[in-house]
């Protein structure tokens, strides 16, 4: 059966591959051209490969499988393809500096068919990160090929070579940011072809303070005066001043430079007008404008984060009980699957676990049945884990690009000064933390490990690009829902893929000191500060897990952030929750609740909320609703207070003070009356807005008619007929004449 399946697979894949590489377990698809007699059958490919390795597979079968390109060793085959890809890349680009985002183009004649779509940049990064794990023979093979173990060192040498070439061709090293070394140009060394030299120079300037003295000397030795241009803005400013002076000398008068003016080619080019207008455009361009790469990148990242969390919540409500453990398995028939579900201990010695399964025919059947029933849900869960890891990596890459000056007009500081930028950057880090928390709370660690290993056994390592990183993400943390938190949780969990400390610190500072979501106009009163900042307080709560030192040690910072489990925060919280202080707070809230009910009752009295009354008392109405909502929120939040709070003294007394000072009936009354007033005001505003255009047009027509009548009145032939008695105007004119 295996030979027939391999031959059919070879005929299907003949246009895209010279090999047949099956996963450890292959289920024949229920589609043509697969024979109906084979559809749905599962083949234990790993067992066949093991028989070949042990030399017990019949020679005729081995030869037949070799003739159709069957892959006996998937790991070695993948390694061979990677080496082939590196050789091909070097022959095309004359170096092995493979960009991280490089993917072999599909249907490219210069590449082997088996390499089409290969993410070579990712593969190279993984090889570098696991260099210490490579066998000596493989490392020697890469060395012979010229593999770049330290991309930074070789990249610097290539940049210097390119700068020297640029200087020879242009006489200076003022490389425009958009300059890219032309492809196949005879004046440029092949190793420099397609190098984005302008961006590379900008990166060197941004990191000038971090370069070693030796590298700075190499750049300065390029021989230009000034030598290597460390501050392009200063040089550009001097050049522009010189160009403006020349413009005034040539054309005279004021410096009104036409938008399309370019310095003639007989002199050094400097497009003065475009330079000044570009600066204005950068200042006026909105952070979320389509042309703003930084804003769009951050917006897409946050959108992805929200989508990932939505998928996490959906899947967490549909976890098969078998992954949660025997206590969650209600169907006795499902218990048989427990013997073929393994945690990450499997990764230490996979052969031992596979032999245990393969040596028992019943377990093999159970294994096949389990994979057939759960393959789709396992795929969705693994894609979720992988998408969380990719989000983390993309966020870290965005932070790295910010630090290196990839987004020319943006850095961390000015993003946080922009309203949209501050909100998005804070939310990007917040969503990162929320993913980690929800992942551990909604999908327990043991379940995650069983899912990953089950999917790994089904697909094989070669099909899972980020399996090591996903395992690091999904490894158990020691936390189980409903159980006490383990020590240093979740701080140690959050350190697995820690964001830059500078980003975390500046985001915390922004959330702590500024009104990020601009809620002050809605809640201007100082007593409403906690409500005004509630949204960003939620963000701050999560982000602080990335900075445990602040929670534990920085007492001055935590004076404004109250959090019981952490020493510095607990000190601030204890002062607020003194019983005597709590009594005063509850009394104040009781008084506010009673006065709000009185005001609401007055406004809801029949006949009070007329159109004229609403327009004249809009501030009082909104203030009443605002105060009522703040009171409702405070009361409901504190009604959920635990009977005793761990690590907090007198928490039972605090609970009793609150219960004594609050009335559930009054809370319900306040809630209902506030809702009723909001509903009435909403409909009144909707009616006023709907009639606004008609009223405006009526007033315009009325004004035009009266002006026409006034014009006719001054002819002396027609009296004013529309004038009605108006006591206010009579009094005003009389007072004016008396003065």
Bridge partners for 27 per DSSP: 42
Domain count, the chain: 7
d(CA 346, CA 348): 6
Q: How deeply is 519 buried, as exposed, middle or buried, from its count of CB atoms within 10 A (0-12, 13-18, 19+)? A: middle
User: Do 182 and 193 meet the contact criterion of CB atoms below 8 Å apart?
Assistant: yes
d(CA 681, CA 689): 12
Domain of 157? 151-230
d(CA 72, CA 65): 9
Among the residue ranges 257-266, 288-297, 499-508, the one predicted with the least confidence is: 257-266
Token pair for 217: 């000397």
Is residue 488, in this structure, part of any structural domain at all? no
Q: What is the pLDDT of residue 134?
A: 78
Q: Which residue has the higher pLDDT, 685 or 212?
A: 685
d(CA 314, CA 659): 37
Same domain, 209 and 258: no
Same domain, 399 and 463: yes
Q: Which residue has the higher pLDDT, 213 or 491?
A: 491
Same domain, 546 and 603: no
Same domain, 347 and 444: yes
Is residue 378, in this structure, part of any structural domain at all? yes
Same domain, 391 and 446: yes
Alpha-helical regions (H) of 460-500: 467-474, 491-494
Mention every residue, 6+ apart, whose C-beta is less than 8 A from residue 487: none
Q: What is the pLDDT of residue 87?
A: 92
DSSP 8-state secondary structure symbol assigned to residue 345: G
d(CA 223, CA 128): 35
Same domain, 572 and 587: no
Q: What is the pLDDT of residue 364?
A: 82
Is residue 282, in this structure, part of any structural domain at all? no
d(CA 601, CA 593): 12
Is residue 59, in this structure, part of any structural domain at all? yes
- For 171-204, what is each residue's pLDDT tens digit? 777 788 778 888 777 888 877 777 778 777 766 6
d(CA 324, CA 485): 19
Please calculate the CA angle 48-53-54 and round it to the nearest 5 degrees: 95
Same domain, 345 and 311: yes
User: Do 184 and 193 meet the contact criterion of CB atoms below 8 Å apart?
Assistant: yes
Q: Which residue has the higher pLDDT, 309 or 643?
A: 309
Same domain, 475 and 328: yes
Same domain, 452 and 599: no
Is residue 649, in this structure, part of any structural domain at all? yes
Give the confidence band of 205 by pLDDT, cuts at 50, 70, 90. Answer: low
Mean pLDDT of the chain: 80
Specify the DSSP element, H or E, that contains 447: helix 445-459
- For 441-488, what is each residue's pLDDT tens digit? 999 999 999 999 998 888 776 667 788 899 999 999 988 887 888 888
Q: Which residue has the higher pLDDT, 131 or 468?
A: 468
Is residue 287, in this structure, part of any structural domain at all? no
Q: What is the pLDDT of residue 285?
A: 56
Same domain, 550 and 668: no
d(CA 206, CA 208): 6
Is residue 172, in this structure, part of any structural domain at all? yes
Q: What is the pLDDT of residue 439?
A: 94
- For 490-549, what is each residue's pLDDT tens digit? 888 998 888 988 999 999 989 888 888 888 888 888 777 878 888 888 899 899 888 877
Question: Long-range CB contacts (< 8 A, 24+ apart) of 681-684?
Answer: 681/609, 681/614, 681/621, 681/625, 684/609, 684/611, 684/614
Same domain, 165 and 99: no
Specify the DSSP element, H or E, that contains 353: helix 350-358
Q: 97-101, 205-209, 632-636 — which one is most confidently predicted on average?
A: 632-636
Is residue 486, in this structure, part of any structural domain at all? no
Q: How deeply is 596 buried, as exposed, middle or buried, from its count of CB atoms within 10 A (0-12, 13-18, 19+)? A: buried
Q: Which of 415, 417, 390 is nearest to 299 (CA)?
A: 415
Same domain, 436 and 408: yes
- Could you tell me the pTM of the whole model? 0.59
Mention every residue, 6+ apart, whose C-beta is less than 8 A from residue 491: 545, 548
Q: 204-213, 324-333, 636-645, 647-656 — which one is most confidently predicted on average?
A: 324-333
Which residue is listed with tokens 């066949």? 48
Per-residue exposure over 635-671, b if at least 16 CB sit within 10 Å of its own CB, e if not: beebeeeeeebeebebbeebbebbeebbeeeebebbb
Q: Which residue has the higher pLDDT, 563 or 515?
A: 515
């Amino acid at each position: 059966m295996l030979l027939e399946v391999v031959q059919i697979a070879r005929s299907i894949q003949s246009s895209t591959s010279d090999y047949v590489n099956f996963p450890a377990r292959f289920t024949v698809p229920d589609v043509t051209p697969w024979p109906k007699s084979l559809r749905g059958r599962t083949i234990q490919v790993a067992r066949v490969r093991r028989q070949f390795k042990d030399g017990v597979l019949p020679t005729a079968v081995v030869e037949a499988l070799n003739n159709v390109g069957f892959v006996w060793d998937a790991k070695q085959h993948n390694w061979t393809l990677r080496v082939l890809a590196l050789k091909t890349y070097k022959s095309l680009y004359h170096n092995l500096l493979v960009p991280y985002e490089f993917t072999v183009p599909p249907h490219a004649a210069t590449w082997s068919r088996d390499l089409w779509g290969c993410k070579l940049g990712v593969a190279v990064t993984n090889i570098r990160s696991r260099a210490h794990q490579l066998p000596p023979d493989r490392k020697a093979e890469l060395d012979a090929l010229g593999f770049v173990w330290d991309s930074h060192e070789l990249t610097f040498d290539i940049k210097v070579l390119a700068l020297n070439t640029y200087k020879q061709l242009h006489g200076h090293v003022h490389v425009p940011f958009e300059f890219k070394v032309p492809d196949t140009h005879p004046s440029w060394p092949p190793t420099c072809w397609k190098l984005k030299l302008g961006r590379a120079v900008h990166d060197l300037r941004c990191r000038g303070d971090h370069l070693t003295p030796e590298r700075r000397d190499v750049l300065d030795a390029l021989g230009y005066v000034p030598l290597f241009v460390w501050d392009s803005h200063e040089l550009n400013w001097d050049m522009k001043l010189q160009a403006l002076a020349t413009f005034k000398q040539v054309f005279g008068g004021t410096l009104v430079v036409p938008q399309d003016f370019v310095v003639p080619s007989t002199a050094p080019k400097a497009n003065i007008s475009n330079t000044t207008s570009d600066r204005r455009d950068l200042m006026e361009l909105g952070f979320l404008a389509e042309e703003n790469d930084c804003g769009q990148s951050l917006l897409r990242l946050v959108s992805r984060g929200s989508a990932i969390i939505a998928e996490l919540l959906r899947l967490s409500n549909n976890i098969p009980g078998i992954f949660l453990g025997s206590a969650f398995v209600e169907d006795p028939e499902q218990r048989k699957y427990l013997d073929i579900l393994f945690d990450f201990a499997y990764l230490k010695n996979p052969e031992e676990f596979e032999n245990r399964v393969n040596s028992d025919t019943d377990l093999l059947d159970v294994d096949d049945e389990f994979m057939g029933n759960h393959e789709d849900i396992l795929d969705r869960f693994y894609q979720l884990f992988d998408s969380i890891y990719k989000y983390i990596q993309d966020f870290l890459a965005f932070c790295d690009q910010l630090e290196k000056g990839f987004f020319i007009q943006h850095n961390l500081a000015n993003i946080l000064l922009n309203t949209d930028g501050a909100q998005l950057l804070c939310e990007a880090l917040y969503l990162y933390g929320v993913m980690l928390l929800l992942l551990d709370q909604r999908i327990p660690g043991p379940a995650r490990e069983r899912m990953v290993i089950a999917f790994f056994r089904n697909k094989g390592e070669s099909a899972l690009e980020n399996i090591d990183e996903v395992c690091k993400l999904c490894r158990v943390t020691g936390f189980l829902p409903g159980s006490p938190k383990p020590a240093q949780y979740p701080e140690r969990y959050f350190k697995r893929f820690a964001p830059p400390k500078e980003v975390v610190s500046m985001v915390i500072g922004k959330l702590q000191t500024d009104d990020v979501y601009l809620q002050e106009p809605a809640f201007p009163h100082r007593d409403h500060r906690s409500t005004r900042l509630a949204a960003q307080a939620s963000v701050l709560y999560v982000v602080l897990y990335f900075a445990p030192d602040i929670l534990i040690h920085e007492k001055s910072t935590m004076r404004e952030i109250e959090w019981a489990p952490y020493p510095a925060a607990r000190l601030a919280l204890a002062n607020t929750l003194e019983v005597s202080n709590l009594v005063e707070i509850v009394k104040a809230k009781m008084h506010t609740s009673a006065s709000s009910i009185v005001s609401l009752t007055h406004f809801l009295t029949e006949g009070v909320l007329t159109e004229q009354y609403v327009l004249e008392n809009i501030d009082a109405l909104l203030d009443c609703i605002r105060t009522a909502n703040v009171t409702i929120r405070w009361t409901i939040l504190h009604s959920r207070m635990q009977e005793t709070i761990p690590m907090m003294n007198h928490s039972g007394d605090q609970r009793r003070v609150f219960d004594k000072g609050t009335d559930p009936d009054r809370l319900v009354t306040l809630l209902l009356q506030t809702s009723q007033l909001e509903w009435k005001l909403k409909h009144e505003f909707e009616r006023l807005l709907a009639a606004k255009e008609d009223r405006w047009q009526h007033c315009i027509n009325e004004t035009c008619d009266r002006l026409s009548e006034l014009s006719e009145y001054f002819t002396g032939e027609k009296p004013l007929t529309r004038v009605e008695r108006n006591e206010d105007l009579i009094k005003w004119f009389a007072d004016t004449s008396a003065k």
